[in-house]
Chain A
């Protein structure tokens, strides 16, 4: 069973929750830029949260579904397409055309049973720079055929049948979106990075005072931030060290880079800040041109934020589970 790509959109890739345990070989975890939206989309079609789905970026694809298929679209709001944040049962032969993002940058289209590409190093996520994972390690192209489970039609009917149906194609309820910004600049929490104290006083202030704009050359590896140039007070060379999701590093140009899902595993630039894990999915919903303001927080507060987000998302996932009779 399969899903046909009539138009690929700007950057549509297969993503799950990423590959872990290989960073010592330089392999970054990767996975969905907005893992919260991915988890919700999966839950809405009855999948485990880590199933592989389609990550859609800024301009959506046009897809043709051969068979009856239960799908859900979560994350950024796109023009056209279909009702968001709820399970939708597509009729055989449906052409689904998703337009341009109206709010947010990335949406996740989950399909009952997940996208059935082969896992590579424990994950189905596409890693574009290394050309592995997902569909042949690349973004979708016109004419591609994405593999779905053999019994996707039966599975879709069965799962949709378990729901309280409103109009035969969808339901009366929807899951509350979690990560799409309603105004900018968005507020993102960050703790001081290891080399924060090495920046001069003006740069230390500027990082948390400025409104930063996402530069056009940003991608899944990192968001380049446009704002005041940051300078170091001490000129010492930094020994190449580790990085993590949300690390903000500052190359010699003075323009910071926030490391995102496909980030390099080590780097030689000073790390001025580390974005709270809880806030990374919201940052991932900014498109180039979007604006962000960083609020300083303590490590303990970042942990509390993460607990809060987890509790809120878990509650939504659980209530979706109840709708499926779990």
Chain B
């Protein structure tokens, strides 16, 4: 673990700190950050409320009753975990298959992506379903996952004007990432299709479909299959 050393520790207020390992997206660092987060969380420290793996580092949120220096403590806990060794990614990551209907009614930005990439819609779908993705981070909103692994030929920028409402379950791409919208929220990513799966449900045992580190594949389904799956509880 010697090669993974934090660039620094930044305060997120006086109750939280961000241990930063990279200022750019490095997949190897991102994976290590997720393993570190699992190691930190498994310590079961009652005054460590939240451990949040982000793209290039991990945030530690402490109980406000804690009176020490968050920067020193975050650095110390990180050091201890790195020294002890991190759990292997395969110990916590799941494999998830996500059915997606890429038909026109669910894919408002397919034409634009086709134009920008010079690929026919069927080619776009083929490429999007061929790759294996990894959950780089869950953030912004509950269950909102950022997936890495998009074929570079599908890399298009975000829409110039974000949509005021993107439907729940929308599968969208921008740059070299894919997201799946957990709710109907505003968004600027290019929508290629929609999954009938419920991405986040606070009432079920595993509320979030995606967790950091999970491996994800998309599978194309028809509109009919979508309707049938959407009706299942």
Contact = CB atoms under 8 A, between A and B. Distances in A.
Interface string B55-84: 111010100110111110000000000000
B70 to A, nearest CB: 7
B67 A26 contact: no
Given A24-B52, A303-B14, A244 B59 contact: yes
Contacts of A127: 142
A87 to B, nearest CB: 26
State which size class the interface on A falls in. Answer: 35 or more
Q: Interface on chain B toward A: helix, strand, loop, or mixed SS?
A: loop
Nearest to A268: B140
Contact of A25 (B14, B142, B183): B142
A208 interface: no
A135 to B, nearest CB: 14
Most buried by A among B69, B137, B146, B185: B137
Nearest to B18: A242
B140 A24 contact: no
A26 B144 contact: yes
Contacts of B200: 25-26, 130
Given A26-B208, A240-B146, A303-B69, A265 B23 contact: no
B208 A25 contact: yes
Interface stretch (B5-13, B104-112, B222-230): B5-13
Given A24-B37, A241-B55, A276 B18 contact: no
B13 A302 contact: yes
A243 interface: yes
B221 to A, nearest CB: 26
B49 interface: yes
B13 A246 contact: yes
Given A23-B50, A306-B64, A244 B15 contact: yes
A23 B64 contact: no
Interface of B: 10-16, 18, 20, 22-25, 37, 41, 49-57, 59, 61, 64-65, 67-71, 137-144, 146, 182-183, 185, 200, 202-203, 207-208, 211-212
